[in-house]
Structure 1
Amino acid sequence: MLPHHFLDGAPPKTAVISGADGRLSDHHLEELYKERNLLLGEIDREERERCWYFSQLEALSQKLAQLPRIDTFSLQMDLIRQQLEFEAQKVRSVMEERFGTSDEMVQRTQMRVARLEQLEKELHEARGSQESQLQVRHTVHTRIHTLHNVHNQMYYTKKHT
């Protein structure tokens, strides 16, 4: 099971400290950047881990596909096939234990995207600039695209191994 994370529940409460001019303090701006960078780092680490698991599944799928198709029963080929299928199932189980079901991954990503969008809004308001908005939107769209690919890969590997 995944460790509890601030995205598993409500977003953390951040104190808004206004200066004499009504703008957010440098400290609050720093906290927003810190949370954003932490969140992006967490997403990147999880993506790298998922890619590693998918590469393992892909390698096992390729080994299965490369086994010769013979008309007569071969105990040796059957045992090799069973072993590869067992290893693929083990990788899928570890992956599900680590990341949850594909639905849970989708939900977690949606929560992260929502929090990134909120951070983008707060940073945009704090800086009065569109730079952060463009960067985070690009990152959010990239993450959504990656999530769809992950979901499709999980479906494909379950279906073909």
Structure 2
Amino acid sequence: MAFHGKCENISMDGALISNISLFDVEVGNEILIAIPLPQKNSSIKVKSTIRWIEKNQFGIRFYKRKNPRKIYKRKITVFTDSMICSTMINNLSRGGANIQIDEKFFLKKESEIHAIIPFAKRNEELTKRSVVKWIKNGQCGIQFV
């Protein structure tokens, strides 16, 4: 569902939105807001949570990752008790990674895997026990455990 609103003020942590549509919102709802930029047809999309509501206004807090991700395009090896596969890592953080998955490599949400990740500037690698948190469009998010 989409609705229009007006950003009354904005900070690094959140914003005050005037809801000028007929859409009902509730405290705790997660929303995706699109903030238009001065360039033509350009905007920043930000995940947010509604923190409070008063009359026709509400306050949102922007979602922030606990561990910022860095683009890290490298070949990695992923294995389970019964399968092994060579794939690509897209990005990496202290807490997890986004990896490409082949449809032949049957992973399920919450399944345990191991990822062998090479270091960028050394001839060494790191093996991380991980849990699959999401799977979508040939990619999955893994959380290191």
User: With structure 2 as the length reference, what TM-score do the two structures score?
Assistant: 0.17
User: With structure 1 as the length reference, what TM-score do the two structures score?
Assistant: 0.16
Q: Which has the larger radius of gyration?
A: 1
Which is helix-richer, 1 or 2?
1
